[in-house]
Structure 1
Amino acid sequence: MYLLPKKLHFFCFVTFSAIMVVACGDKKQEAASKDRQKSSGPAEVDVIIAASQSISNIVEANGTVVANEYVELRPEVTGRLIYLNVPEGKFVNKGTVIARINDADLQAQIAKSKVQLDLAEKTVDRYKQLLAVNGMNQSDYDVALNQMNGYKADIAYYQALIDKTVIKAPFSGIVGLRQVSPGAYVSSTNIIATIQQLDKIKIDFTIPENYNSIIKMGGTVRIKVDENEQSDLKATIIAIEPQVTAATRNLKVRTVLQNGKPNPGAFVKVFINASTEKKAIMVPTNCIIPDDKNKQLVLVKNGHANFVNVETGDREASNVEITKGVNPGDSVVVTGVLFARPKSPVHIRSVKKLDQSVATQ
């Protein structure tokens, strides 16, 4: 008599569960349908109207400050330092003795050669008198003369070696930090100190070879040493490397700074005026879609996204010149590029100006 209520309860539970499953399924299908309707709707984008505008073609390059003259002072011979005069960070005149290497053995060799030379000269004098009265043959005299000249050559050789033991300043300039100590055993691989001539500062920089036409001897470029400085320095072009670097296809240029004293080795920015102002279509750099072979922009035509291949030219801080693929009056998508699909409908949310689109990125 208790089976009927249990079966009834079980039947009610199963029926209720089935109703809940069907109801949940209907809600999920409704939500999915709404999502599909929402995703299938037009993508919202912001555009700018392409227009030709005046731009100043300023080429920016990286440069390095170079001293007018720079030398690493190294010994030419091997030996022990017996004298060291390195006034660190101070000015020295050309010819100032910076260091000396022990030359006692060379001095002894010269003294020995001088004694031998003295005897050889006396022998030549005696042979010359005998030769004049036919007291000896010519060959003996020639041997004595050759021996005397050999001693003279030995003295000149040892004197040249002694000269190499003295390290002098090759030009007037500022001496750098001392790299060795007195009494050290040095060779040609050791740097004693450096010396730089800072009365005329040079700036070396490289630019792509296609800008060769804008580099002229005697031309002026702007130099910025520090980004925080308000004023720029000026430099005059004095030399152009005739050969383009094969690895980078860049051209090396040397300029002389007209004012200012930046430290050699410092990094600077170089600005070259490539041409007068010209008209060009500019778009934000980050709205360009890079491809394996091409660069693309999204244009809005008749309410649909149209992907077009473009070619770029000069660049600015946030914008790039479009030389091919976009005409004045075209609507260029600047935001919402990732949501646009080829030939799919789009909704233009707003029309921005170029400076506004850059500011909002």
Structure 2
Amino acid sequence: MKTKYIIYTLLALLVAFLIYNKFFSKHAKQTSAATAGKGKRKNGPVSVNIMIVKDTAVNNQIDITGTIDANERVSLISQTAGNITGIYFTEGSRVQKGQLLVKVYNQDLQASLQQYQAQMVLARDVNNRNKILYQKEAVSKEEYETSQSSLSALQAQADVVRAQIARTEIRAPFSGIIGLRNVSPGGYLSPSTPIATLVNIDPAKLTFSVPERYLPIIGKGSKVTFTVESSRDKFNATVYAIEPALDATSRTITVRAKAPNPKNILTAGAFAKINLTLDQIPKTIMVPTECVIPDLKSSKIYLYKNGIAVAQNVKTDLRTDTKIQIVDGLKAGDSVVISGLIQIRPKSPLKILKVVK
């Protein structure tokens, strides 16, 4: 029994020691004081930066994507079949409109043309002689018309041969850069054989789609700024054509613009990041995006008034990379809190660290 009482006594002393150490020792008092100090700091003013609201002009812009196209692009083919007798271009070089690029064998056609030309000389002499005789009533009208018809037939036949000869010469339909050739001298060329691709990319065409809501404010002459992955430069383009109907699936309309490309930096098929300026809003309020707090039904911001935070519901519209437009709820001269928002509650005391202009 004595042992039992001794154990109870020791346990009671141990509990008493722990209670003392927890609540009444020097360390416990220091911890309590530190905790009280932290609580006081929490109840103190929150240090914030504020911005004085002012009216500003802003460009209404949207960021979309598009594709670079050539101004003109064609796959060169022959209109006639035959052996290639000459190739007169260098791959990747610039050619001029009308320049001879490839020639197909046409000696037989040249011979036929010479034959018709010789016959035309004789037919023309006969016709001229019959004309003089007809005027003198030395030959009948029928004889004169027969000689005239023979001359015309020979001229028509010669024109046909000339057209056939022209088809044996493949010429550039427009000025541009010619690509890699797929034929060789002496090879057989048929109308189904692609010779090379000819591209004119100055100016370059920029094709993109715009949402339906922007139709009233985009038109011919609208300015476009864009970039491509292959260059750090910014390029400018001007809208010159708009598709007359919306795409039924995406509810967008296709727009095409032209961009000067004298240095051939832009390449057909390239991906373009487009910044389209729709219009300019001359007077509105823009605030940093991070100071707008989204809510279930609306958005709100905190104003600095008489040293405390005041919640204010606002309506927003346009967004940029760093700012958002406030269309209702703010006026010029208001002080908007732009930092320390996590710690702020309505009527929290505030301390201004910096005023941002």
CA distance in 2, matches of 1:83, 1:296: 79
Pairing 1:296–2:297 present? no
Number of the residue aligned with 1:111: none
Conserved? CA contact 2:315–2:327, under 8 Å: yes
Pairing 1:20–2:21 present? yes
Conserved? CA contact 2:202–2:261, under 8 Å: no
CA displacement at 1:297 relative to structure 2: 2.0
Number of the residue aligned with 1:200: 203
CA distance in 2, matches of 1:177, 1:321: 52
Conserved? CA contact 2:69–2:267, under 8 Å: yes
Cα–Cα, structure 1 residues 178 and 34, in superposed 2: closer, same or farther, change >3 Å? farther
State TM-score, norm by structure 1.
0.57
Conserved? CA contact 1:305–1:346, under 8 Å: no
CA distance in 2, matches of 1:32, 1:99: 96
SS in 1 for 2:267: coil
Number of the residue aligned with 1:236: 238
Query: What are the equivalent positions in structure 2 for 1:228-307 lying under 5 Å apart?
Result: 229=233, 234-258=236-260, 260-261=262-263, 262-265=265-268, 266=270, 267=272, 269-272=274-277, 274-275=279-280, 278-291=282-295, 294-301=298-305, 303-307=308-312
Number of the residue aligned with 1:135: none
Pairing 1:48–2:25 present? no
SS in 2 for 1:216: coil
SS in 1 for 2:303: strand
CA distance in 2, matches of 1:260, 1:208: 31
Identity of aligned residues (%): 31
CA distance in 2, matches of 1:295, 1:99: 72
CA distance in 2, matches of 1:94, 1:268: 36
One-letter code of the match for 2:22? V
Query: What are the equivalent positions in structure 2 for 1:111-260 lying under 5 Å apart?
Result: 173-177=176-180, 194-217=197-220, 219=221, 221=223, 223=225, 225=227, 229=233, 234-258=236-260, 260=262
Cα–Cα, structure 1 residues 243 and 353, in superposed 2: closer, same or farther, change >3 Å? farther
Cα–Cα, structure 1 residues 260 and 213, in superposed 2: closer, same or farther, change >3 Å? farther
Conserved? CA contact 1:95–1:169, under 8 Å: yes
Cα–Cα, structure 1 residues 177 and 270, in superposed 2: closer, same or farther, change >3 Å? farther
| Structure 2, unaligned runs of 5 or more | 1-6, 105-166
CA displacement at 1:45 relative to structure 2: 2.0
CA distance in 2, matches of 1:74, 1:334: 66
Conserved? CA contact 1:48–1:333, under 8 Å: yes
CA displacement at 1:290 relative to structure 2: 3.4
One-letter code of the match for 2:336? V
Pairing 1:89–2:92 present? yes
Kindly provide the CA deviation profile for residues 192-235 of structure 1, in whole angstroms up to 9, marking residues without a partner as x. Answer: 85431234322234444333233232x25254557855xx7654
CA displacement at 1:69 relative to structure 2: 1.8
2:339 pairs with 325, 335, 339, which one? 335
Cα–Cα, structure 1 residues 37 and 91, in superposed 2: closer, same or farther, change >3 Å? same
Conserved? CA contact 1:237–1:256, under 8 Å: yes
SS in 2 for 1:88: coil
CA distance in 2, matches of 1:172, 1:328: 58
CA displacement at 1:335 relative to structure 2: 0.7
SS in 1 for 2:244: coil
Kindly provide the CA deviation profile for residues 220-254 of structure 1, in whole angstroms up to 9, marking residues without a partner as x. Answer: 5254557855xx76543220122334555443321
Pairing 1:308–2:313 present? yes
Conserved? CA contact 2:204–2:258, under 8 Å: yes
One-letter code of the match for 1:297? I
State TM-score, norm by structure 2.
0.57
Conserved? CA contact 1:300–1:346, under 8 Å: no
Kindly provide the CA deviation profile for residues 12-37 of structure 1, in whole angstroms up to 9, marking residues without a partner as x. Answer: x9576654333244444433333333
SS in 2 for 1:329: coil
CA distance in 1, matches of 2:43, 2:86: 84
1:326 pairs with 330, 334, 340, which one? 330
Conserved? CA contact 1:42–1:344, under 8 Å: no
One-letter code of the match for 1:88? E
CA displacement at 1:71 relative to structure 2: 4.2
Aligned residues: CA RMSD: 4.9
Cα–Cα, structure 1 residues 71 and 352, in superposed 2: closer, same or farther, change >3 Å? farther
SS in 2 for 1:57: strand
CA distance in 2, matches of 1:178, 1:89: 9
Number of the residue aligned with 1:348: 351
Number of the residue aligned with 1:35: 38
CA distance in 2, matches of 1:179, 1:45: 70
Cα–Cα, structure 1 residues 32 and 292, in superposed 2: closer, same or farther, change >3 Å? same
Conserved? CA contact 1:220–1:234, under 8 Å: no
Kindly provide the CA deviation profile for residues 50-84 of structure 1, in whole angstroms up to 9, marking residues without a partner as x. Answer: 2223x142525445432112346799xxxxx9999
Cα–Cα, structure 1 residues 34 and 326, in superposed 2: closer, same or farther, change >3 Å? same
